Every structure is written in structure tokens, then in C-alpha cells.
Structure 1
Amino acid sequence: MADDDPGAAERRARFEALAPELVEPLRRFLARRADPATADDVLGETLLVCWRRLDDVPPDAALPWAYGVARHCLANAQRSARRQGRVAARVATVDPPTQSSPGPGETQHGEERLHEALARLTDTEAELVRLWAWEQLTPSEIAGVMDLTPNAVSIRLHRAREKLKEILRKDRPAAGHEESTEGRTP
């Protein structure tokens, strides 16, 4: 039995020490990118991959490595959801539903501008900004997540931030007041 194997016990102890450090940061990472149900599913899948590939987890950069795993698991879940959506669309044309409900991922009013601006970036640019701003990773940690060099991350992150700033600046509602002509002579 596997429980008699001292290597299995060491492996289990290592994972049990690692998992609590990963769960909450991964949960927040996924919650910012997916609806709650998908985030929970992907969290479970990510932890399963971490268990299976425990020997590959770098001891000094476990969280960035796990973010990379979570990104891949989330991409797989999103591809699956798109496939399911296409099947549902085909079924709906044959047998349309009587009512529709709002989809997942709807944001509160205050977050809408940011999410719309992020959507106007490329997928890579948006992910760089999210990892930097939301997960508070350094360029070298982001490099590990995205399989890039730290220098490439620094350059791309700078460009993505500037592009996001420009998008938000252009989309900002006009500030100030209308010019008044009261008290002036023409």
C-alpha cells in the first residue's frame, strides 16, 4: 500500500505544507478572472496539477509557478465553456429557451470602465497588468508565470500600462464645466 512508502509520506507532508500558502492567493487570482463556480473548479484543478507535479514546484517561487498552472487550467476551462456555449447556441436555434438570464462575469458599475479598458488590451497585455497590479508580482515572478524573460516582462508591462492609461484617459468623461458668457460683453 502507498501509505507504507516513506517517500509518499514525505510527498504528502510537503504538499500539505505548500497547499495552505497557495489556496487563498490562487482563489483571489481566479476570482478576478472568472465567475465563482469556474474559479472554484479551476482552483481544484490547479491544486491537482500541483500535487501531480509536486517535484516540479520550485521551492523559492511556488506561488508564481502555481499562477502559471492556474492560467493554463483557466484557459482550458474557458475553451471548454466556449465549446459548451457553441453547442448550447446550436440547441437554442432548434429549441429556443423561454427566458434568458444574465451571464456570469457581470461587473459592478465602478469596475466597468477598468474591465472595458482591460478588454481593449491584448490578452497578454491584460494578463501582465493583472499579475502586476492585482497579484502584486514582480517582473521576474511574472516572467516565471508567463514563460518570458524578466526583461521582456518589464518592457511589455511598461507598454501595457501606458496603453491602459491612454485608454482610460480617452474614455474619461469630460471634466470641468461649461463656459459661461454671463457678465461678458460680446
Structure 2
Amino acid sequence: MGDDHDRFSELYAACYPDVLRFAARRTDADQARDVAAETFLIAWRRFADVPGEAERLPWLYGVARNVPANQLRGERRRERLGAQIRSARRETPAPDHAGGVAASLDVRAALDRLSDRDREVLQLVAWEGLDVAAAAMVVGCSPRTLAVRLHRARKRLEKALADEGPGIRPQSFEMRGAQS
């Protein structure tokens, strides 16, 4: 067990900052820490499934990508249960006052208008610095399929940016590891 503990400690030290940044780009800072913690909890539970050094970060990104969805499913189950309890008591639910913060940058606004699928592919390549093969591993498709998705997402982003204002180009969303 000591050897696994040492290897896990090394994995955590090497990858935690990247996983935290990955999560922070998709949610707020508090939730990002929770996502990163849950990701490493899952990695510890499934330590035998964690791939070698070259593929471990994309694997962790894939886990981190699924954590919010799992949390959302849990929240929805709790909300349904709460609604059933309130209904049984004949109470009316309190209104939800949570609101989002509007994006202030043109690029962020353009990204927000893209589909989740387009946004994710662009973020994996531009923000996480993954090449096409590693990004394909995260989303669970072939590198060729990801390259096509990335190309199409870049075109849609260019159009969205043109709608935001002239002269803005998505320089940071250039494809890595494949020809565009």
C-alpha cells in the first residue's frame, strides 16, 4: 500500500494544479476545488485504472469533466426528493434567487453562444493545451473525429466573434497536433 500511496502522492502533486485550472475554467473557484478533490478521490478509488504518465492528465480531465454532471444529477435527485417532501407537507417551494454573471469579454460572449460540445473542444485545445489525440481521449472519440469537430468549432467561433465586433480573431484556438 505504501508504494501506491507514494505513486498517488506523486500523481496528485504533479497534476492537481492542472486539474484545478481545468475545473476553474468551467465553474466558480469554490466548485472548482470540489471538482478537483472529487477527481482525485475517484482517481484514488480507481488507481489501477489511471494510465501511465503520458496519458494520466487527459484521463484526469475526463474524470473532472464528468464530476459536475454527476453532482448535477445528485442535486436534481435531491431537488425532486425535496419537492416530494414539500408537496407532502403542502408547502410551496422558495424561489431560486441564484443568478449568473454576464461575461464581459467579447471572446467569452462568443464562446457562450457556442454549443457545449464546440466550447469544450476549443477549451481543451486552447486552454488546457492538449493536442488533438489527448483531447480526443478526454471526450471519448477518435483523433480524426476531434480534428473535424475542432475545425467546425473554430469556424463557428470565428462567425460568433465577427458578430461581436470586427477584427477579433480566435488566435488562441489554433489546432495543436494536426493540420487545420
The Cα of 1:155 is off from its aligned counterpart by 0.9
1:52 aligns with 2:40: no
Aligned residues: 161
Which residue identity is paired with 1:75?
A: A
Which residue identity is paired with 1:62?
A: R
2:18 pairs with 8, 13, 25, which one?
Answer: 25
* Secondary structure in structure 2 of the residue aligned to 1:135: coil
1:12 aligns with 2:10: no
* Secondary structure in structure 1 of the residue aligned to 2:21: helix
TM-score (norm: length of structure 1): 0.75
Which residue identity is paired with 1:164?
A: L
In 2, Cα distance between equivalents of 1:76 and 1:150: 26
1:106 aligns with 2:104: no
Q: How does 1:32-47 map to 2 (within 5 A)?
A: 32-47=25-40
The Cα of 1:124 is off from its aligned counterpart by 1.4
Match of 2:61 in 1: 67
Provide closer, same or farther for how the CA distance between residues 172 and 85 of structure 1 changes in structure 2, counting only shifts above 3 A: farther
The Cα of 1:65 is off from its aligned counterpart by 0.6
Match of 1:156 in 2: 149
2:119 pairs with 126, 130, 134, which one?
Answer: 126
The Cα of 1:80 is off from its aligned counterpart by 3.7
The Cα of 1:160 is off from its aligned counterpart by 0.3
In 2, Cα distance between equivalents of 1:150 and 1:88: 43
Provide closer, same or farther for how the CA distance between residues 114 and 84 of structure 1 changes in structure 2, counting only shifts above 3 A: farther
* Secondary structure in structure 2 of the residue aligned to 1:55: helix
Q: What's the RMSD between the two structures over aligned residues?
A: 2.7
- Percent identical among aligned pairs is 39
Q: How does 1:171-186 map to 2 (within 5 A)?
A: 171-172=164-165
In 2, Cα distance between equivalents of 1:119 and 1:66: 24
Is the contact between residue 126 and residue 160 of structure 1 (CA under 8 Å) also seen in structure 2?
A: yes
Which residue identity is paired with 2:31?
A: T
Match of 2:109 in 1: 116
* Secondary structure in structure 1 of the residue aligned to 2:134: helix
Is the contact between residue 38 and residue 77 of structure 1 (CA under 8 Å) also seen in structure 2?
A: no
CA deviation digits over 1:28-74, x for unaligned, max 9? 11111012222111111100011111111111211011000000112
Match of 1:4 in 2: none
Provide closer, same or farther for how the CA distance between residues 83 and 133 of structure 1 changes in structure 2, counting only shifts above 3 A: farther
The Cα of 1:15 is off from its aligned counterpart by 0.3
